[in-house]
Structure 1
Amino acid sequence: MPRFSRKGVTKVFFIETIADASYIPTRAELTGATNLTKAIAAIDGFSLENQEITTPDLESTFNSKIPGDDEAADSSITFYEDDTSSLMEEALAKGTTGFIVFLRKGDVPASKSLDSFPVRVASRSPQITVENEAAKWVARFSITDTPTLDAAVPAAT
């Protein structure tokens, strides 16, 4: 099986509005989105976790489990701070709603590698440090509805 590194391949966008109720953006919505990819230093979360339910019974000392509720992991993106532009900070101001869209295998039309997370920006804060590293800031996101996973990347126009 061929393997690849996400660096240089995966694309990440912020889209203010997706018209489709299934949260799959059109090519026009992707084209008009804010491309976050180049400014990203780290990504945490943006996955679903299942809260399993333990189902013990009197017949066994083994505690079996069944699937329970799904919930989104705590999610954040760390960005490099730009000392000449505040485009990213403005697009991701606290309280802003929209969608974080991942093209996990790149912008490859029809590839079933598009994940779309409906979000609200919960907080945005600088990372202040005296270490020898680039200036960064973190946006924390609340996932507001069930994300769409493994959707097809829209066709190029």
Structure 2
Amino acid sequence: MVATPIAATSRYIPPGTTHYYWVATIANYNSPSRSELNAGTDLTGEVMAVSGFATSSDQQDTPDLGSRFVPKIPGRITADDSSITMYASSNSSDARTLMPRDTAGYVVIFPEGDITGQKMDVFPVKVTGVPKSRDIENPANMVFQYAITKIPAENVTIP
């Protein structure tokens, strides 16, 4: 007997597909409403780079005297340090007015676009810093640094 192969994927690249929203308030971030998402701000067109926005689980050793083998169990769940680098505007009218330091809200990531029935990830966050780039050769930008404040809602169906 041969195992059933996994279904073929429809592959894509993030540019032109993935969207990032900043949403100030969501009543239940495990199931945001369409109106809450629409009230957010689409950051996509100003995003230069993204880092983090991933979770992982520690693994804990559980040794016993019955065996030399040391089994493991899942441990605490943690989130990576996360940031979004965005372009700065020459007139100061940019994301720094939307997300200053200490602002709480949600970064909503639509990996395959904001399409009803697809999946999204919702990260409850607090802005911890917004350092500005001082590079004299490249476009001016700011790195929005986020503390992820609760376990993210991952693979939520888009309403």
Distance 1:39 1:22, change over 3 A: closer
Q: Which residue of 1 aligns with 2:3?
A: none
Counting only pairs closer than 5 Å after superposition, residues 48-67 of structure 1 correspond to structure 2 as 48-67=55-74
Distance 1:100 1:26, change over 3 A: same
SS at match of 1:102: strand
Distance 1:22 1:133, change over 3 A: closer
Identify which of 135, 149, 155 aligns with 2:154: 149
AA aligned opposite 1:133:
N
AA aligned opposite 1:119:
V
Which has the higher Rg, Structure 1 or Structure 2? 2
Residues 92-134 of structure 1: per-residue CA shift (max 9 Å, x gap)? 10000010001111011011x110001100111101113x321
What is the root-mean-square deviation of aligned Cα atoms in Å? 1.5
1:24–1:116 Cα contact (<8 Å) kept: no
Q: Which residue of 2 aligns with 1:123?
A: 129
CA positional deviation for 1:85 = 4.3
CA positional deviation for 1:62 = 3.6
CA positional deviation for 1:61 = 4.0
Counting only pairs closer than 5 Å after superposition, residues 20-59 of structure 1 correspond to structure 2 as 21-59=28-66
Aligned residues: 151
SS at match of 2:130: strand
TM-score where L is the length of structure 1: 0.89
Q: Which residue of 2 aligns with 1:68?
A: 75
Flag structure 1 segments of 5+ consecutive residues without an equivalent: none
Q: Which residue of 1 aligns with 2:139?
A: 134
Flag structure 2 segments of 5+ consecutive residues without an equivalent: 1-7
Counterpart CA distance in 1 for 2:128 and 2:69 is 41
SS at match of 1:70: strand
Residues 57-111 of structure 1: per-residue CA shift (max 9 Å, x gap)? 3344443221001011111111111213423101110000010001111011011
Tell me, yes or no, if structure 1 residue 99 matches structure 2 residue 100. no
SS at match of 1:7: coil
Residues 35-73 of structure 1: per-residue CA shift (max 9 Å, x gap)? 111111111111111111122333444432210010111
TM-score where L is the length of structure 2: 0.88
Identity %: 34
2:30–2:156 Cα contact (<8 Å) kept: no
